[in-house]
A = this chain, B = another copy of it.
Amino acid sequence: MREVADRAGVAMSSVSRVLSGHPDVSPVMRERVMATVDELGYQPDLLAQSLRRRATLTVALVVGDIANPLFAEIVTGAERELRAAGYSMLLANSDRAPDRDAAHIRLFQQRRVDGLLLSLAAEDHEPTVELLRATDTPVVLLDRDVDGGLVASVVQSDHRSGVRAATEELLALGHRRIGLILGGPMRPTRERRAGLTDAYESRGIDVPDLILEGVLSAEHGREAARDLLNREDPPTALISGGNQLLVGCLAEIVERGLRIGRDISLASCDAIPMTDLYQPPIAVVRRDNREIGRTAARLLLDRLRDDARPPETVTLPTTWVRRPSCGPVG
């Protein structure tokens, strides 16, 4: 920049004003500076700008596992929205470890990111919550209920209605023993459980003891399915609360040689290509994952543009998609 200023025979402040579109600059000066700028191919140092302007135009996104198609799509949506607004995205994996969430939040604060998009590994991890409560960088949570007076925007999905619809359909098909395989103790899990319960209760039927919580992984999906299917009075239908869990479920079902839709009915949360293409196609509680990412980014950007804007909570819909994987009870 000094080089540009010297070469153009003007002060650095003038160069700065031209480049940042300041109004107080004469046409001749603008002309002169612009000429030297692209004569030298000068590009301003965003690092120095960030330091001085106290804004990095950077947002960090922390998720449990980028390789999970759900998150991959959320990331895609968020990245597009952020890019359009001129922001760059730092991405980090927590590997579902709450401590790593905290470490990342600390790190990104030191990097002076303008905002945080978080899919926390736990809702009640004290160090993390403490950190978030103390910070004044805007935060958007993805499908998490964090208590303790934390003020943050939230983007959540209406899992409850979706799973309720799924359960109602299975009940209507005559199923009474419906297994539900869930991830960790967080909002989506609670909502899905509630959705199942809703459906049973609206029919005045007792909810059978076939709900298994664990962690959002294929391994747990498989073990849970095995556990349920090994029981004396096994479920006639399974609902998987996540695409990774479905993969495990399906592995177990395939190994047992069960015919989906006949020997056992199957439904899952979160569509992936496999759910659509499997034979028979697998019923799903679908949602628009990219829209989740876009909405989260938008909520954050709104707060970045307007300091006084209060945090909001947005609930996005889910839709139950019936498919042949759900058949009448055998």
Residues on A close to B: CB < 8 A?
Answer: 43-48, 50-51, 56, 58, 65-69, 72-73, 75-76, 79-80, 83, 88-93, 106-112, 218, 247, 250-251, 254, 272-274, 276-279
Q: How far is the CA of A274 from the CA of B125 in the complex (A)?
A: 35
Of the listed residues A66, A76, A108, A112, the one surrounded by the most CB atoms of chain B closer than 10 A to its CB is: A66
Please tell me if the beta carbons of A112 and B46 are within 8 angstroms of each other in the complex.
yes
Q: How far is the CB of A174 from chain B (nearest CB, A)?
A: 25
A80-B106 contact in complex given A47-B50, A278-B278, C-beta closer than 8 Å: no
Please tell me if the beta carbons of B89 and A90 are within 8 angstroms of each other in the complex.
yes
Q: How far is the CB of A103 from chain B (nearest CB, A)?
A: 9
Please tell me if the beta carbons of B66 and A79 are within 8 angstroms of each other in the complex.
yes
Q: List 28 A-B contacts (CB under 8 A).
A: A43-B110, A45-B112, A47-B47, A47-B111, A58-B90, A66-B66, A66-B76, A67-B69, A67-B73, A67-B75, A68-B72, A69-B72, A72-B72, A79-B92, A79-B93, A83-B92, A83-B93, A88-B90, A88-B92, A89-B91, A91-B91, A247-B273, A247-B277, A250-B277, A251-B277, A254-B277, A273-B274, A274-B278
Q: How far is the CB of A95 from chain B (nearest CB, A)?
A: 8
